[in-house]
Amino acid sequence: MDTPCGLDVSLSIVGGKWKPLILFHLQEGPTRFADVKRRVGGISEKVLIQQLRDLVEMNVLVRRDHQRVPPMVDYSLTPFGRTLVEALIPLCEWGTRNRATVAKLSRSTIDMET
């Protein structure tokens, strides 16, 4: 079904807890696995590997293995991925700006129900 709001499409790629954060932290350019992990924070190695793999499969990120010893692998946004990040930023910023307001509203909603 074609709808005027394609948010379902965007969220099929970037939905969930980690992917928006990963993309957010890759804006500066190619980033090594260990640095992604450190910047995102609180994510296990296993989960991060899977999230990165999903984003590579969807052509949002590109993975480069520099064929060195010790191994050096980094991830960067594709041009396609960059368009997604640009579209995502306003909603990220809205959430950050309104975190306290929304928490208060959620609490008062719960209060009304109890």
Closest distance to a copy of itself from the beta carbon of 18 (Å): 10
Side-chain-side CA neighbours of residue 83 (13 Å): 4
Closest distance to a copy of itself from the beta carbon of 42 (Å): 8
Q: Extract the tokens encoding 42.
A: 């609180």
Contact with a copy of itself (CB under 8 A) among 49, 71, 80, 107: 80
Site for a copy of itself contains 2 (CB under 8 A):
yes
Distance (Å, whole) CA 18 – CA 21: 5
| Burial grade of 111 (CB within 10 A; 0-12, 13-18, 19 or more) | exposed
Closest distance to a copy of itself from the beta carbon of 88 (Å): 6
Site for a copy of itself contains 79 (CB under 8 A):
no
Count of other CB atoms within 10 angstroms of residue 49: 13
In the structure, how many helices (H) and strands (E) does the chain have? 6, 3
Site for a copy of itself contains 57 (CB under 8 A):
yes
Site for a copy of itself contains 28 (CB under 8 A):
no
Point out which residues bind a copy of itself (CB under 8 A).
1-13, 15, 17, 20-21, 24-25, 42, 57-59, 80, 83-84, 86-88, 90-99, 101-102, 105-106, 109, 112
